[in-house]
Structure 1
Amino acid sequence: MTSSDATPQTGHARIHAYLKTLDGSPGVYRMLDAQARVLYVGKARNLRARVSNYARPQGHSARISRMISETASMMFLTTKTETEALLLEQNLIKQLKPRYNVLLRDDKSFPNILVSAEHAFPQIKKHRGAKKEKGAYYGPFASAGAVNRTLNQLQKAFLLRNCSDAQFESRTRPCLLYQIKRCSAPCVGLISEADYAASVADAERFLSGRSTQVQESLAIEMQQASDAMEFERAAALRDRIKALTSVQTAQGINPRGVREADVIGLHLENGQACVQVFFIRANQNWGNRDYYPRVGADIEAAEVLEAFIGQFYDTKDPPRQLILSHAIENADLMAEALTQKLGKRVDILVPQRGEKAELVISATRNARESLARKMSETATQAKLLRGIAEAFDLDAPPQRIEVYDNSHIQGAHAVGAMIVAGPDGFMKNAYRKFNIKGVDLTPGDDFGMMKEVLSRRFKRLIKEDPDRENGMWPDLLLIDGGAGQVSAVAEIMAEYGVEDIPMVGVAKGVDRDHGKEEFHRVGKMPFALRRNDPVLYFIQRLRDEAHRFAIGTHRAKRSKAVGATPLDDVPGVGATRKRALLAHFGSAKAVSRANLADLKAVDGISGTLAETIYDFFHEKG
């Protein structure tokens, strides 16, 4: 519910006016400024009691006092329980990103290892995202690198395949992985289904933390092979044991008394925060990640950690234990909410001694060191942004730089790419790709492509943030190209009335050499920076990052096109049926020419679907 008042007010008096409309129910409240922008989202066990605290003139920190002074209206939503209020609060914080809340800015999903269960010879692979595929999932791992290292060693140890089912079905001889002893080549029958299943079971035991059993079993087999003078087999088993040991070594600290937990350490300094998370699964450390939530100068550790935990596990399953460096105010409430999410009991601990306390000390030390590095990098970044402002005659250091580049091969699979950088470095969650749609473009027309990309970008900005209040607009545009590109982009900017945004073209000099870049601006002579100028190196990094992103996007589009077949467009034909059709007929072209009776003869293709496939190709013809 929202209240309106004939006389606009802000601050304590405005908040006090809401008290007569509130009772002691639990719920969520929002504080809004005069422009109806959300300043803060909070939860309360008793809404009336919580709001009455804000109505008091004294006793607030500087941050809360500022927030109260800006509050022009409030919104309330009551809930049945405080746990429900906690979950709703975190959802709203992530959705609305209020200025005065602690905000988790990096919320990517984590990779897992998947042992598939939809094939007689299961595949082992990296998996990220929703767990829709049937199989056993192990994780989360802190990064793709941690997963790749583990998978690399598991391939050496257990010789499980990582190829797709389509590749598996199409092979007629072993691939290179078999030659380098990373796969047992089940695709061509060089291992029986029973023996392969035993290897899968060993891999799953290892990933579940029962590594000692696996290594002891392999050691016995190695000794038996040696006694039987099967020295080649003994050497292979020795290599598998060595690979397993390598995985354990790479995982670092492997706590004996902690089977499944996230260890969360916090360090606060000078109004900035770093949260370090260690992922402990199956008594093994599966890596760590650091996070830098947005906080204020006078915020308490308990509030930071509680907000972090609520937002962090909003889209992720929590482990059975959270081991924290600082106590949080509503630990019982948070544990109840996480227990409901997981479907099993979740405990929140703040250990004072023993192995768990040592893990927390390690996490907190890493948080402190990471924050020190981050603050140093931020200071350097601020200096570089000041240098850019000076070099390009800007009014102030840019807070958001957008860099654009195109990629194509003679006009084919053309894409545009935008990367974003600011005071905290590259803002990868703001990167965007543009599939070039212009049907009237001449293949390879870079000017036309850049015009299309910038047109679409400014159309969206004008639609989503016409008043330029949400930080979505750039303070500087860098375009990969010279005078021609700059002129093309200037036309678009004039068309949309955004000529006030500084725009610079970055072109290689006469020798097309790093260090001799020329900078082009509308109505001004090109110029260059000194070869050893740090600002020049910074601009080169920005341009190279845009080029990397554009090339990667182009390659992904090209690869997808190369693997595409007309079958992808047939309604009701998914990956499994597509494989069955290709295996039966040999090619998509043969499928398109097949008669109805032959289509019905394919395993897994019903009579109705056979008619759909037949009609799809023959109506096209």
Structure 2
Amino acid sequence: MPDGTEKTAATGHEVIQGYLRTLDNSPGVYRMLDAQSRVLYVGKARALKKRVSNYAKPAGHSPRIARMIRETASMMFLTTRTETEALLLEQNLIKQLKPRYNVLLRDDKSFPNILVSREHAFPQIKKHRGAKTEKGAYFGPFASAGAVNRTLNQLQKVFLLRNCSDATFESRTRPCLLYQIKRCSGPCVGYISEADYAASVADAVRFLKGDTTDLQAQLAAQMTEASQAMEFERAAALRDRIRALTSVQSSQGVNPRGVTEADVIALHMEGGQACVQVFFIRANQNWGNRDYYPRVGPDIDEPEVLEAFLGQFYDQNDPPRQILLSHPVENADLMSDALAQKLGRKVELVVPQRGEKAELVDSAMRNARESLARRMAEGQAQAKLLDGLAEAFDLDAPPARIEVYDNSHIMGTNAVGAMIVAGPEGFVKSQYRKFNIRGEDLTPGDDFGMMKEVLTRRFQRLLKEDPDREGEAWPDLLLIDGGAGQVSAVKEILDDLGIEDVPFIGVAKGIDRDQGKEEFHRPGQRPFALNRNDPVLYFVQRLRDEAHRFAIGAHRQKRAKAVSATPLDDIPGVGATRKRALLAHFGSAKAVSRADLADLKAVEGVSEGLAQKIYDYFHERG
């Protein structure tokens, strides 16, 4: 199997032709690389030799593929046992390498779920995101945290389940406000028995599984029974639960009767851009939708985009039993098989033509079309702002990447630096970074010193990772919160690093610190201002405010962490779970430090060896 690592000065179809004699028709994955060994494209093939021979032809390619072939200087190959393995490997490599000519999903955030825990006699119902390591019943995915919060709020009204943490539950001596407003049954103070609470949990699980008709009938029967027994208070409570349950169902939006579990995925393409709209249908309920804007080229077709989207989207999200699509995908059999392997049961890909399923796809398609239109309009407005920014600040070209820096601290404590990123598509939140200020020789509140540390760390890393500036991580403009002093400090920092071609601007409030009278500072030039009604001024204010918001949020997180810090954090082997167990058992870190070895061993989850470590930590220090 050739590895394709040999360098050559030549590029194009003749280079590709040279690989054909060493290839066979095994399934596998190929990579096309440019003269600098950067990956241009990752593809899969049922038969490698047959697929690569198509690229070796001098003509008959789309403009995008022809351009890619012209840039190809070498190739790499990896054979697989099956075509499905090739598909899975292709998607892993695309996600890892992010090749320029592949369709690329840019938003890979995980989705929140609802968790009904099973580790407590009175289970908690809560929002959960990330790995499903905690014992309990998971329901989801939901499209957003907002969708989860709305559903949790409604479920509290209906089933009166607690949402407080176990530590809060154990420390209560009287019911909280949620009990007073009829959102919780007060299990923390014994206002409901364990058996009755378990019945409410079972009802909530039935609802989340879609068993709402029988549940409402059961509640109605219980209400009638209570009324006949003259238990009017209980009957009124059951009536309120039925009303709340009806409200939940009516607020779910489109609730398909014939679709129990599916993702509805629709694609709309226009002007070289694409929007994919995903609706989550679970338990015959609509659990929200989210739009995605994968990176595509102008001459790519819908089946290729959808196949790439499915592979990358379900790389970290569990697929449902059925996926309803607006367009057929290439290699639908392979994709279905790959998703089935991940889920452990059959996954069906369907392009519905009529009926309720087709209506769901049409609804998703309409949302995709409208979302893309809004995004394109916003993109045009953003492009005008970037043009105006370049003109106002005498830049050579509109900046593709703007980095904005700010610091946050209270009298120098818990100091953090923050960097936000913006570009033609608005704020790029995946590129935001926070910097914990480490300098031990800094005077508390030394903003210049903090800025020096942040920028030094940022640009030293850039110089190390991309010294030739071939990637997209180098900024075209820096905006600094501050005036002439900050600008001078930044110039000194960049000069020391040998960076002379990255423009930077200091944004300072006017003499009366009134928003709208900002002054802009550049090295060696007089400060200037923009007209109060200039859109570019509003744009810069938004950038600065976003950096300030992010910096304050990072500072608050650090401060909250410091407040909750205990000596237990420094003991190897004591993570968050064991820390909670120790504090719940002893009441405080001080009590833990005084505990003898036998008491430490009695804590749930603390092994004999860990108990010895904890005991030694506190007693060796003393």
Pick the TM interval, shorter chain: over 0.9
Aligned counterparts of 1:373 and 1:604: Cα–Cα separation in 2: 52
TM-aligned CA distance change 1:192 to 1:12, over 3 Å: same
Aligned counterparts of 1:7 and 1:121: Cα–Cα separation in 2: 68
1:227 to partner: Cα distance: 4.2
Partner of 1:110 in structure 2? 111
The aligned runs of 1:415-494 (5 Å cut-off) are: 415-494=416-495
Partner of 1:29 in structure 2? 30
Partner of 1:238 in structure 2? 239
Other structure's SS at 1:145 match: helix
TM-aligned CA distance change 1:491 to 1:61, over 3 Å: same
Partner of 1:40 in structure 2? 41
1:612 to partner: Cα distance: 2.0
Letter in 2 for 1:28: V
Deviations 1:167-218 (A, max 9, x none): 1111222122112221112111111111111111111111111112222222
1:576 to partner: Cα distance: 4.9
Other structure's SS at 2:480 match: strand
Conservation of the 8 A alpha-carbon contact between 2:112 and 2:143:
yes
Letter in 1 for 2:614: I
The aligned runs of 1:201-600 (5 Å cut-off) are: 201-600=202-601
1:236 to partner: Cα distance: 2.9
Deviations 1:255-277 (A, max 9, x none): 11111111110001111110001
Letter in 1 for 2:441: D
Aligned counterparts of 2:455 and 2:41: Cα–Cα separation in 1: 34
Aligned counterparts of 1:127 and 1:147: Cα–Cα separation in 2: 9
Other structure's SS at 1:531 match: coil
Aligned counterparts of 1:613 and 1:212: Cα–Cα separation in 2: 54
TM-aligned CA distance change 1:230 to 1:509, over 3 Å: farther
TM-aligned CA distance change 1:240 to 1:6, over 3 Å: closer
**Consecutive unaligned residues in structure 2, runs of 5 or more:** none
Partner of 1:619 in structure 2? 620
The aligned runs of 1:68-217 (5 Å cut-off) are: 68-217=69-218
Letter in 1 for 2:487: V
1:288 to partner: Cα distance: 0.5
Conservation of the 8 A alpha-carbon contact between 1:255 and 1:283:
yes
Conservation of the 8 A alpha-carbon contact between 1:2 and 1:73:
no
Aligned counterparts of 2:223 and 2:92: Cα–Cα separation in 1: 54
Deviations 1:459-511 (A, max 9, x none): 11111111111100000001111122222222111111112111111111122
Aligned counterparts of 2:35 and 2:68: Cα–Cα separation in 1: 12
Other structure's SS at 1:522 match: coil
Conservation of the 8 A alpha-carbon contact between 1:318 and 1:338:
yes
1:304 to partner: Cα distance: 0.4
Letter in 2 for 1:547: H
TM-aligned CA distance change 1:451 to 1:235, over 3 Å: farther
Aligned counterparts of 1:335 and 1:246: Cα–Cα separation in 2: 37
Aligned counterparts of 2:462 and 2:7: Cα–Cα separation in 1: 34
Aligned counterparts of 2:581 and 2:340: Cα–Cα separation in 1: 43
Aligned counterparts of 1:298 and 1:601: Cα–Cα separation in 2: 66
Other structure's SS at 2:42 match: strand
**Consecutive unaligned residues in structure 1, runs of 5 or more:** none
Aligned counterparts of 1:562 and 1:234: Cα–Cα separation in 2: 47
1:445 to partner: Cα distance: 1.3
Aligned counterparts of 2:465 and 2:244: Cα–Cα separation in 1: 53
TM-aligned CA distance change 1:151 to 1:174, over 3 Å: same
TM-aligned CA distance change 1:601 to 1:395, over 3 Å: closer
Conservation of the 8 A alpha-carbon contact between 2:406 and 2:547:
yes
1:229 to partner: Cα distance: 4.6
Conservation of the 8 A alpha-carbon contact between 1:261 and 1:279:
yes
1:232 to partner: Cα distance: 3.8
Aligned counterparts of 2:65 and 2:77: Cα–Cα separation in 1: 19
Conservation of the 8 A alpha-carbon contact between 2:8 and 2:74:
no
Letter in 1 for 2:99: P
1:315 to partner: Cα distance: 1.2
TM-score by length of 2: 0.97
Aligned counterparts of 2:402 and 2:607: Cα–Cα separation in 1: 55
TM-aligned CA distance change 1:78 to 1:579, over 3 Å: closer
Aligned counterparts of 1:221 and 1:357: Cα–Cα separation in 2: 39
TM-aligned CA distance change 1:61 to 1:599, over 3 Å: closer
Other structure's SS at 2:78 match: strand
Conservation of the 8 A alpha-carbon contact between 2:8 and 2:35:
no
Deviations 1:586-618 (A, max 9, x none): 321122123445445556655543332221111
1:243 to partner: Cα distance: 2.5
1:58 to partner: Cα distance: 1.9
Conservation of the 8 A alpha-carbon contact between 2:28 and 2:83:
yes
Conservation of the 8 A alpha-carbon contact between 1:15 and 1:54:
yes
TM-aligned CA distance change 1:24 to 1:185, over 3 Å: same
Letter in 2 for 1:124: I
How many residue pairs match? The answer is 621
Aligned counterparts of 1:445 and 1:497: Cα–Cα separation in 2: 24
1:163 to partner: Cα distance: 1.1
Letter in 1 for 2:218: S
Letter in 1 for 2:455: L
TM-aligned CA distance change 1:152 to 1:467, over 3 Å: same
Q: What percent of counterpart residues are identical?
A: 80
1:429 to partner: Cα distance: 0.6
Letter in 1 for 2:380: A
TM-aligned CA distance change 1:362 to 1:389, over 3 Å: same
Aligned counterparts of 2:196 and 2:87: Cα–Cα separation in 1: 50
TM-score by length of 1: 0.97
Aligned counterparts of 1:258 and 1:424: Cα–Cα separation in 2: 36
Letter in 2 for 1:518: E
